[in-house]
Amino acid sequence: MFKAIYVHLPFCRTICPFCSFPILKNRAPLRKNYLILLLQEIRLWQDKFPNLSKNCLSFYVGGGTPSCYSAKDISTIKQALKIPDSALCSIEINPEDAHLDYLKSIVDLGFNRLSLGVQSFSDQHLKILGRNNTAKQNFLAMEALQKAGIDDFNLDILYGYPDQSLADLDKDLATYLSFNPPHLSAYGLTLEPKTPAFKNIYWQDWNKGKEGLFVEQFKLINISTHQAGLNRYEISNFAKPGFLSLQNLIYWQQKPFLGIGLGAFSRYKKQRFFNYANLAKWQQAINDNQLPVDITENMTNRKILDEYLLMALRRKSGISFAKLTNFLGQIDFYSIFSKELSNLREKMLIKINQRGITLTEKGLMLVDSIILKISTIIDSKLDEK
C-alpha cells in the first residue's frame, strides 16, 4: 500500500508574502474544526484503502505550521492513521514553537525527525521575508533541540531574496553549519503568481538582472555544505550519510504515497489524486461523506516517464538507462544519447556514462531547460517506436 503518508496542517500565524501553498490564518475555532474534518477524511481514506498504513515507511506532518497544534492533537492524528512503530516520523516545527517541553512531548509521541523552518539567522532578513520568528527565537530553538537530544533534524534556509548579498548568505551559512545539522534544505526563492511578493514592485525590480548573484549564491551553498560534510543528493537538499529524507526519496522514486488535508495530493499505482485547495469545497465534500478529491489524474506511460525525468534529473543519481528500458525497450541508450546530447555534454551541463545521465553542478543551475531538452529527445524516440 502507501509507502509514505503526509498530513497537511495549513495554519500560520503570519502568511509569508512568497508562499503559494493553501494556507489559513491561525484561529483557534477554525483550527479545531479543521482537525475534526481531517479525522473524518482519514476515515474516508481508510474506507477506500483498509490497510493504507500497513506498509508505511515514512509519516510526515507538514504545513503551514503543524506546531500550531498541541502535542495531544498531533497524537490524535497519528493514532487515527495507525502509523506503525517502525515508520520514520517527521514533523515541521517553527522556531517560535520549539520550546523544550513541546519538543520533548513530540519526541514522546514517536517523532524521530524534526524540520525547523529557520530560513535565516538575521532579523533584518527575516523581516524582509515576512517571517514571524526572530533570530533570537532561532537560536533558542536550536538550544532546545540539542537539550531534547534530537540528532536527526533538518534546517531550512532561503536565498535569492531582496537585499541578501553573497556576504549575507555566507554569514548565515556559517551560523547554520555551526550547529552541525545532519540535513539542510536550501531553497532559492521564486516569485510565484498570485502571491503578494509577485505583485510587489520592489521585489520584482530587485529580482531583475540578479542571475549572476543567484549563481554565486548557489555555488557558495554547494561549497560550504560540502566542506561541512553534507552531500547534495537533490538540487535543494544536502545530507550527511544516513540522514537523507526518506519522505522525499519516496516521492522522487515514484512510490505510492497518500496526502491528507487541504490541497494535499497522493500517488497510487497509475493515478494521482489532488484534494481541494479551497477550504469550503474541501469541507463540503467531507461533510457529504465524500473524499475531498478535486482531480483524479490517470497517468499514461508518457506522463510517468516525464515525471521520472523531472524527479531523476534533480537528484544526484540522475537518469538510469536501465529505468528507461521500461519505456523505450531494448535500445543502445549509451550510443544514442551520447550522440544526441553531445551539445549539452560539450557545454559541461551533463555527464553521460553507460549507467545513465547526470547533471553537473553547472547543469543543476539550468535544470528546468535541460529537463525540457532531454524530454524532447526521449519523446522523439518514443514517437519513432
pLDDT at residue 384, as a whole number:
60
Backbone dihedral angles phi then psi of residue 44, each to the nearest 5 degrees = -65, -40
CB < 8 Å & 24+ apart, contacts of 291-296:
291/41, 291/44, 291/45, 291/48, 292/41, 296/271, 296/272
Three-class DSSP category at 93? strand
What confidence score (pLDDT) does residue 385 get?
54
Output the pLDDT for position 382.
Answer: 63
For the chain, 385 residues long, the average pLDDT of each consecutive 10-residue run is 96 88 90 97 97 96 95 97 97 96 97 96 95 95 95 96 95 97 94 87 83 92 96 95 96 96 96 97 98 96 88 92 80 74 90 90 88 82 61
To the question of pTM greater than 0.85 for the whole model, the response is yes
Instruction: Please check whether residue 297 is in contact with residue 271, taking contact to mean a CB–CB distance below 8 angstroms.
Output: yes
List the domain boundaries for the chain: 4-250, 301-384
CB 3 within 8 A of CB 257: yes
Q: Which CATH class is domain 301-384?
A: mainly alpha
Residue identified by cell 524530454 is 375
**64 upstream amide cis, omega within 30 of 0:** yes
4-250 maps to which CATH number?
3.20.20.70
Task: Give the model's pLDDT for residue 63.
Answer: 92
The reported pLDDT for the residue numbered 272 is: 96
